[in-house]
Structure 1
Amino acid sequence: MNIEVSTDNIKFFEALSSATRIRILEMLAGGAMNVKEIAGALELSSAIVTRHVQQLEEAGIIKCENASGIRGIQKICNLDLDQAVLFFRPRGKQNSTITHSIPIGLYHSYSITPTCGLSSDTRIIGLLDDPRYFADPEHTKANILWFGSGWVEYRLPNYLLGNQEARYIEISMEICSEAPGYNDNWPSDISFFINGIEIGMWTSPGDFGSSKGVFTPDWWNHGTQHGLLKTLLVSTEGSYMDGIRISDITIGRLGISYGQDIVFRIANSETSGNVGGVTIFGKNFGNYNQDINVTIDYLNKAKA
């Protein structure tokens, strides 16, 4: 997220002005927690923690969801931001953003090898470890998908007009490796491509199944439970994963222009150093109740 230092964003800065709220963010960096767990760790009452959580949520820093628990409804808190860039100089009012949420089952092309499969939040789609079912019409309903190696490709909408140019594209998703069953120590070199250009690679540390995903359905017993929320950013300066530079590829090299779809590929090649597969989580699975979120920031070009 890009934040201009101005009174328009005062809620964001006020949310970070408390040592207690910073401690809450430090804890949530390790994974989702409910209000009672946070209160216990901080040795504060749930009522006090609820007020702090509400302020962080109003600032857009965390996201909270109600979930059924053993003792009734619990408020589950997750980080909603991995990074924020502060702009001390006004960028002007010519900048705008376009946002999309792409369901993970809406890939348009794929080439994958087992182990593999897809599932909605109510049932497995087709047969496990049979790549043919990635072409099943039901694949559009998938809330989780996984493959041992290969790639899936998404077409991202591009609504830029002829007088606009992209300044950055940001893509966030919950993702991890794919091991048979699960294995928390199962590295996988996952590469990301936009319009056929490799943006960079991130090594997933494992396929996480030792603890239940916050939003993973109770009926799910197929190993993998949750991933890690990763944010890919390609700007005028280069490409970054969670704020860490992964390549020198800039937004200008991607050919994002009027009338052209944006093709996004997630891949784990059989020639990688760590062939550990890919698992992608959508809504109602994992620790983050989201699909593939895309933000394109653009600038209205000056008239000649």
Structure 2
Amino acid sequence: MKIDTTDEYLPIYEALASTVRLKIIQLLSLRPMNIKELAEAAELSSAIMTMHVKKLEKAGIIRTDMVPGKAGLQKLCVLDVDQIEINFPAALSQIKEFHQTDVSVGHYTDFQIEPTCGLATREKIIGEFDEPRYFLDHERVNANILWFGQGYVEYKIPNFLLSSNRPEELEISMELSSEAPDTNNNWPSDISFYLNNVFLGIWTSPGDFGDNKGKYTPSWWPSIINQYGLLKYLRITSNGTYMDGNKISDVTIHDVGIRDKQWTFKIAVEKDAEHVGGVTLFGSGFGNYNQDIIFRLYYSKEQKA
């Protein structure tokens, strides 16, 4: 995970500012544990432990999976981050700025998918479930969520970089999960990413989350299908490509045609992947983060005297 010193990341700093929550992180680094096990290990009540777990979960440091237990389903706490990198403000001698483009999940320009699949606006399902032809429906541009079992969707993005700007890093943030029949928090999927037809790397989604209602998911949305995803940060830098601070390839910002007037960005689940578990893309009005796919190209320029 890569963060900075802006207010956006205050929940992470707050989550870490506790000896109890640091102890929870240490325990979960050894193995996943349920609330009762964590409470006993920390010598706290289950109610107090639940409060601490929710704080860490909100910060994106841990996640809770619903798994079979002796008495039915139980919540299993899993450490979801293995490192946090803090970017401090740049030196005053240099100004770091960025161009930002928000792309709706329904604004794909090409696709090739296989069921299970579907897409919807905030108000209704578009067409029918598991019918790829509806990905050509005229209402698809209004989609705020889409999912498919295998294949890809591709987007075109304008590039507003000036010749006088020096590109330093491209950050792409999006809310993602796997795509299981119904939902399944333990449903891994190897999701591949491409920029300008250059393979960037793979991130393995742990599951298709349906244990809780998404914070922004509409009230009419069926409870038996995907509710929310994980907010992921894909960063292409001069040193390689990273997902949440974890290096996934040696592809650098100089390898991807970063000065092209427009980019193509592809999200794919390959048929020969180890885990073919589909992908769900959550846009604004769905999931837990109320955002579309956000592209930020950071660049620098010398400060004028």
Length-normalised TM-score, structure 1? 0.73
Percentage of identical aligned residues: 43
- 1:164/1:301 contact within 8 Å kept: no
Matched residue, 2:279 = 278
- Distance in 1 (CA, whole Å) between partners of 2:145 and 2:155 is 15
Q: Flag the 1:290–1:83 CA change in 2: closer, same or farther, 3 A.
A: farther
Matched residue, 1:216 = 217
Matched residue, 1:288 = 289
CA drift of 1:87 comes to: 4.0
- Distance in 2 (CA, whole Å) between partners of 1:102 and 1:86 is 26
Matches within 5 A, 1:228-247: 228-247=230-249
Whether 1:255 and 2:257 are equivalent positions in the alignment is yes
Q: Flag the 1:289–1:41 CA change in 2: closer, same or farther, 3 A.
A: farther
For residue 224 of structure 1, what is the amino acid of its counterpart?
Answer: N
Matched residue, 1:226 = 228
- Distance in 1 (CA, whole Å) between partners of 2:101 and 2:113 is 25
- 2:184/2:209 contact within 8 Å kept: yes
CA drift of 1:210 comes to: 2.2
- 1:163/1:301 contact within 8 Å kept: no
Matches within 5 A, 1:1-304: 3=4, 16=13, 19=17, 41=48, 85-87=86-88, 90=91, 92-221=93-222, 222-257=224-259, 260-300=261-301
Q: How many residues align?
A: 253
Q: Flag the 1:188–1:94 CA change in 2: closer, same or farther, 3 A.
A: same
Length-normalised TM-score, structure 2? 0.72
Q: Flag the 1:92–1:212 CA change in 2: closer, same or farther, 3 A.
A: same
Q: Flag the 1:131–1:43 CA change in 2: closer, same or farther, 3 A.
A: closer
For residue 140 of structure 2, what is the amino acid of its counterpart?
Answer: H
CA drift of 1:86 comes to: 2.5
- 1:106-141 per-residue CA deviation (whole Å, 9 max, x = no partner) reads 111111111111001110011211111111121111
- Distance in 1 (CA, whole Å) between partners of 2:183 and 2:8 is 41
Q: Flag the 1:202–1:94 CA change in 2: closer, same or farther, 3 A.
A: same
Give 3-state SS (helix, strand or coil) of 2:254's partner: helix
Q: Flag the 1:237–1:131 CA change in 2: closer, same or farther, 3 A.
A: same
Q: Flag the 1:127–1:246 CA change in 2: closer, same or farther, 3 A.
A: same
Runs in 1 of length 4+ with deviation above 2 angstroms?
A: 1-4, 9-13, 15-24, 40-44, 82-89, 91-95, 299-302
- 1:156-202 per-residue CA deviation (whole Å, 9 max, x = no partner) reads 22101122231100011110111111111111100111111111101
For residue 248 of structure 1, what is the amino acid of its counterpart?
Answer: D
Matched residue, 2:68 = none
- 2:113/2:151 contact within 8 Å kept: yes
- 1:165/1:301 contact within 8 Å kept: no
For residue 175 of structure 1, what is the amino acid of its counterpart?
Answer: L
- 2:196/2:263 contact within 8 Å kept: yes
- Distance in 2 (CA, whole Å) between partners of 1:230 and 1:193 is 15
Q: What are the ranges of 5 or more consecutive residues in structure 1 without an aligned counterpart?
A: 28-39, 45-60, 63-81
